[in-house]
Structure 1
Amino acid sequence: MNSRTQSSCVLTNSSTTITMPSTSDTTLKSTNIQLKVSLEVPLMTKEQLYPTPSMKDNIPFDVEFDLRLIGCELIQTAGRLLKLPQTAMATGQVLFHRFYYSKSFVKNPMEYYAMAAIFLSTKIEECPRRIRDVLNVFHHIKQVRTGKVIKPMQIDESYHIAKNQVIKAERRLLKELGFCVHVKHPHKMILIYLQAMECNQESLSQKAC
């Protein structure tokens, strides 16, 4: 009988310990592998951060920066249209950035991985949306950006191709991140710091977050 252990995340103030599952076909005994993430044990090394895979493929830094910016804007706009909480949009943007520190924009189309990132983030943040809704929203955004007449997405061959590409992108994103998709956002800490500094203006809090 095959068995599958359950994973869990343990958070502390100074570090994050992520328990990764290990499966076995011959025993029911569970085995856990712990991955500790802290300032001393970062998610990425300096070598991974620079030069990036895209830079190694001769994409200038400013062009890569623009691609990252466009991808995050797409995720933010799509999240609003999908009526997602801000946390889900931020998680999608973090996953998007992490992926492109592992893979290049040259071989991995930005739009598909933006869709995959927000689709995955809706599951992580427990506000799931259908992949069809994600595709429809990105189709709408593309029409608006290119100045085309707004038309609903047709369920045809191109739709099924796009759907399969997003599913493949989600799988590859998970694989490249080693299924380590926990994101600890700074928003709560920002609010605590603002309160400590007695900066309780709502407009300042919204701008900071």
Structure 2
Amino acid sequence: MAHRIAGLKHISNALATPDQLSNSSSSIDGVPSELETSIRCAGAQLTQDAGVLLYLSQDIIAQAVVIFTRFWLGADGGSLRIYSAKDVSAAALYLSAKLSFQPTSPRSVLNAYNFLLSPQASPLWFVNPQGTPSQPPATDYYILSEGSYQAGRLVLLRIESVILRTLGFDTHVALPHTIALTYLQTLGVNNSEVSRRILEHLNAALLSPQLIYVTHQPNALAVAAIYLATRENGVKLVDGEWWEVFDVDREELGFLVVGMQSTEGFLRKEKETWKGRTIPLVTEEVDAEIERRRMMEEGE
């Protein structure tokens, strides 16, 4: 990861290099780029939903999603054919909570994931294509046995250590949410609907296929969310290129605005692409999906 801006370490992040973005360990191992994108996005959604289920604050969840995303970057990152996305998601969330004021236990994390990954009980479309069941399923479908818990705990702690080694023990994540609201006040805007939309844009951007949380600094993400939210609500800001005051140029702003706007359409397309099928979140399923695609290409 690239170095942070000198003197601003607490509000800036180490960003991914172009080489890390174009050469992931998964791609080197033969995972098609569109499949890798689908799995990464599903893993980010899984992290988000597990965090909500565990009553974790959004900043902890967002930090976990960023750590999850960083793990797969570059040739030295994790490969989807070696590490299961579901395990990395759980470990990233557990690690982020542990480093916060709101730690949670391995048992709580594993119970949440067991429920969300249950084909019979899960409300997640990429795990349970049939949709949320109308009647609550029997708890046998998603409650961990003691033996399963002990085995899962060992995996959780092992993957946590793998994440730390892969990231060079750099777990710092600066988020744009508070920065955006501070900038909004600086611009003289006091509008609760605008503030709400800013946070919605920033949370949705965690699922961006362009990985904008690891390619752009928090101040730029904050400015892009303000630009979108104020335009959507018809709120006029100061004349001139106000974003330059916050060290963001027009080209960067344009890219981020397009990226944030495209996330919703990307997710709709994902649902259509995977309609009736599950997205592979464990290594064996990834291998099976790659083999299925190979056979289709060869007409077998």
2:144 — aligned with what?
Answer: 154
The amino acid that maps onto 1:16 is K
Distance (whole Å) between structure 1 residues aligned to residue 12 and residue 167 of structure 2? 17
CA separation of 1:97/1:103 partners in 2, compared to 1, >3 Å: closer, same or farther?
same
Distance (whole Å) between structure 2 residues aligned to residue 118 and residue 87 of structure 1? 11
2:110 — aligned with what?
Answer: 135
Measured on the aligned residues, the alpha-carbon RMSD in Å equals 2.5
- Find out whether 1:106 has 2:99 as its counterpart: no
**Structure number having the greater strand percentage:** 1
The amino acid that maps onto 2:92 is A
2:98 — aligned with what?
Answer: 123
Could you tell me which runs of 5 or more consecutive residues in structure 1 were left unpaired when the two chains were aligned.
Answer: 1-10, 18-36
**Structure number having the greater helix percentage:** 2
Distance (whole Å) between structure 2 residues aligned to residue 70 and residue 150 of structure 1? 25
TM-score by length of 1: 0.76
1:96 — aligned with what?
Answer: 68
**Structure 1 residue 80, shift from structure 2 partner:** 0.9
The amino acid that maps onto 1:73 is Q
Deviates more, 1:124-133 or 1:57-66: 57-66
Distance (whole Å) between structure 1 residues aligned to residue 78 and residue 49 of structure 2? 24
1:28 — aligned with what?
Answer: none
Could you tell me which runs of 5 or more consecutive residues in structure 2 were left unpaired when the two chains were aligned.
Answer: 123-127, 200-300
TM-score by length of 2: 0.54
1:200 to 187, 190, 214: 190
CA separation of 1:60/1:128 partners in 2, compared to 1, >3 Å: closer, same or farther?
same
SS of alignment partner, residue 9 of structure 2: strand
Deviates more, 1:56-65 or 1:127-136: 56-65
Deviations 1:89-116 (A, max 9, x none): 0010011011111111111100001000
The amino acid that maps onto 2:70 is R
Number of aligned pairs?
178
**Structure 1 residue 57, shift from structure 2 partner:** 1.8
CA separation of 1:38/1:131 partners in 2, compared to 1, >3 Å: closer, same or farther?
closer
- Paired-residue identity, %: 29
Distance (whole Å) between structure 1 residues aligned to residue 12 and residue 102 of structure 2? 28
1:62 to 14, 21, 34: 34
